[in-house]
Structure 1
Amino acid sequence: MSFSQRELFLRFLAQTSPSPLLLEIEKAEGVYLYAPNGKKYIDLISGISVSNVGHRHPKVIEAIQAQLQKYLHLMVYGEYVQSPQVLLAQKLVENLPANLDNVYFTNSGSEAVEGALKLAKRFTGRMEIISCYNAYHGSTQGALSAGGNEYFKRAYRPLLPMVKHIHYGSYSDLEQITEKTACVIIETIQGEAGVKVACSNYFQQLAVRCKEKGTLLILDEIQAGFGRTGKLWAFEHFGIVPDILVLAKGMGGGMPIGAFIAHRSIMQVFTENPVLGHITTFGGHPVSTAAAKATLEIILEENLAQQAETKAQLFLQNLKHPLIRQIRHKGLLMAVEFESFSLLKKIIDKALELGVITDWFLFCDNAMRIAPPLTISESEIQTACAFILQAIERVYHST
């Protein structure tokens, strides 16, 4: 008996929801995904802010192929001198502020968050962690503990103790940061809350409060990094620099990789008492780091960060309809808000039928996620917007 790909998916892959999208893709290129029947889709979510340089960028493929001819996994992270790792670390540090000069590579954003939280606790000798309501930092137990939505946490308690939550953008809540606080972990731009952006003054006050109390400031730019918001790093919008920076998603050009970055004096605490204070087998995999270096070079050489806001404005100009309540954005991280999830879901489904992939946000399910590859062209934006408006119209006239 033979099974279809869909049947194999449902039989043998662990499921994360009762109703997966079940969109079957045969190949991808640029901003397009292609089904086995030849139908093409404009990918307006980049695999959730992953494919910042588009799918299968030629320079990323070239870097992967070149590394494949040399070696794959050699040894657990941190023991051998591996060219892809050290060259990527150098490239990252060259494009970061001076206090972020030491890179620890991981396999994912959740793992990077785990490492960053451990690092802050170890360096400060404190146990209290502060994060924000409606924050999303990953689904492993430490990252989930720092997350700010009880719906996703309650089934897995007890989680990490001594985790407090504050309201993103609230000045008065900054008083909760004290000499007991090891770190504040905060998304520079709240992603799953529906692209919420605090003002520069808030972030500057947050940084001052952390410094006064000896608390490390961890900025989670897993979604917002690598040019997505109109600057290479989202914190550049706000005139601050974190003590620890967490990266992933758009880092690898489609390959799995993450990182947390701090000053050497902070990172060194992992080397003793105990030795191997944080270890990973596959973190900084040679193929992933080669792809990530190519990705960073593409973003820099093609000025993709600088183009993000101009392209975002084109979305704003085209996406106008009575059903759209507002559009929040920072560069090409956008939330198009509607009245309700039920209305939005109908629009997303219609858009998919027309060949445009969008999504909603975990903690803001009445807003459409738009986060396309930064390489998207003006004509592709106009085509995508036309399809979205067509989907809205069809839903509008059917209600």
Structure 2
Amino acid sequence: MISNKQLFLQNNAQTSTSPNLLEVDRAEGIYLYDMEGKRYADLVSGFAVSNIGHRHPKVIAAIQAQLEKYLHLTVYGEFVQTPMVRFAQKLVEVLPDSLNNVYFVNSGAEATEGALKLAKKYTGRTGIISCYNSYHGSTHGALSVMGSDQFKQGFGPLLPHVQFINFNEAEDLHLITEETACVIMETLQGEAGIRVASLNYMQKLRARCTEVGALLIFDEIQVAFGRTGTLFAFEDYQIVPDILLLAKALGGGMPLGAFIANKKVMGVLKDNPILGHITTFGGHPVSCSAGLASLEVILEEELVKEVNRKGEIFRSLLVHPLIKEVRGKGLMLSIQLDSFTQVEKVSQLCKERGVIIDWFLHCETAMRIAPPLIIKEEEIHQVCAVILKALDLI
């Protein structure tokens, strides 16, 4: 009989020549369980999706309740659907006043696409500025603003009028001009190996965009909902973007994305032409029910309060001769090693011992540490012991 792994390799499109191939039977809290019942601590959170852990009871209850009512009804923007309305209301409540209009889509890449279109339509300009080593998704427009030529090979030509600047280098900000429709930037660079900008840089960026009339798009697809120690990462910089991109943890484990702007800005999508942006499944009622429940858990259980403390515990424990640096904020950290060979060996040894870690698209010499926010102090000690033992063995 053909195994599921063989069928996966045979019938499912592959994204690399070396998939992880862990076959998961179930997941609960911070743990995954394979088909033999072996437990793995998920230090990646499904790539920043499972901020409140896998299958939180309140999220499951919200999904089950919505299943009793309706699933997909029609395309986005036509019927009034309670889960979408209530989730948008809650998001607006926790965001600054200027970010008061939510457009739900299906993923982070779709949020990027919608935001780029919105910026061009609202400003009447075509110039886009992004950062080197950035990642905003893999669809055609999102790929155009990815800051790595390696991942663009074979997919050109891409969007015109895209220019790249160096993240956290204020001397490049003069490249933002009156011809710039938008600057799209990760509030904290993720796939570059967790790079944190200075307060001074971010405030100069905001001032420059305001000065020339360019819209500032913050991509918080990986970092929002508490991961960096605040509900939204831009809060630390005392500035507000013109457009905010959300996905991953937004849906509480269900597929969901959003781009959020001021109602005046978002209004340009509804006419000339009508349906300036459209999605069939965006704002799916089950996904919005799960997302609302997840956000309510984060707020009601005050999960964000403990994020920085837990991050400091990781930092205090992850001390080893092979570790060059631990970067990041809160529970979005990277462990810098010397080579991809080291990273690959440590990752494999950790997996064998029941801990899942990973590396970064644009920084393969570092390991990603981004566990669910609900991880307990004793669990941090346990997983760090595994990582340090793996480092000893390579």
- Residue in structure 2 matched with residue 346 of structure 1 by the alignment: 345
| Amino acid in the other structure paired with 2:282 | G
Name the residue aligned to 2:176. 177
Q: How does 1:247-266 map to 2 (within 5 A)?
A: 247-266=246-265
Higher deviation after alignment, 106-115 or 298-307: 298-307
Matched, 1:384 2:383: yes
Match of 1:219 in 2: 218
Q: Give the Cα separation in 2 of the matches to 1:153 and 1:47.
A: 25
Q: Alignment partner of 1:26: what SS? A: strand
Aligned partner of 2:310 in structure 1 is 311
CA distance in 2, matches of 1:305, 1:104: 25
Give per-residue Cα distances to partners, 1:78-130, cap 9 Å, x unaligned: 00000000000000000000000000000000000000000000000000100
Q: What are structure 2's unaligned runs of at least 5 residues?
A: none
Offset of 1:35 from its aligned partner?
0.5
- Could you say which residue in structure 1 is the equivalent of 2:276? 277
Distance in 1, Cα, partners of 2:18 & 2:340? 16
Post-superposition Cα deviations, 1:289-332, rounded to whole Å, max 9, x if no partner, equal 00000011011111111211111011111111101001001110
Q: 1:201 maps to which residue?
A: 200
Q: Identity of counterpart residues, as a percentage?
A: 60
Deviation track 1:140-179 (CA, whole Å, cap 9, x = no partner) reads 0000001100000121010000000000011110000000
Superposition pairs of residues 123-272 of structure 1, within 5 angstroms: 123-272=122-271
1:86 equivalent to 2:88? Answer no
**Match in the other structure for 2:67:** 68
Q: Which runs of 4+ in 1 moved over 3 A?
A: none
1:44-88: CA deviations, max 9, x gaps? 000110100100000000000000000000010000000000000
Secondary structure at the residue paired with 1:27? strand
Match of 2:12 in 1: 13
Question: Aligned letter for 1:60?
Answer: V
| TM, length-normalised to structure 2 | 0.99
Distance 2:48 2:184 in 1: 20
Q: Are 1:355 and 2:323 matched, yes or no? A: no
Separation in 2 of the partners of 1:357 and 1:323? 19
| C-alpha distance in 1 between matches for 2:231 and 2:305 | 8
Map of 1:366 onto structure 2: 365
After superposition, give the CA deviation of every residue in 1:162-216 in whole Å (9 maximum; x if it has no partner). 0000000111100000000000000000000011001111011000100010000
Q: Which amino acid aligns with 2:272?
A: N
**CA displacement 1:340-388 (0-9 Å, x = unmatched):** 1111111111011000000001111111100000011111111101111
2:23 matched to which residue of 1?
24
Question: In structure 1, what residue type is equivalent to 2:184?
Answer: I
- Number of residue pairs matched? 394
Paired AA for residue 361 in structure 2? L
Q: Distance in 2 between matches of 1:52 and 1:70?
A: 27
Distance 1:348 1:286 in 2: 37
Distance 2:122 2:153 in 1: 29
Secondary structure, aligned partner of 1:242: coil
CA RMSD of aligned residues (A): 0.6
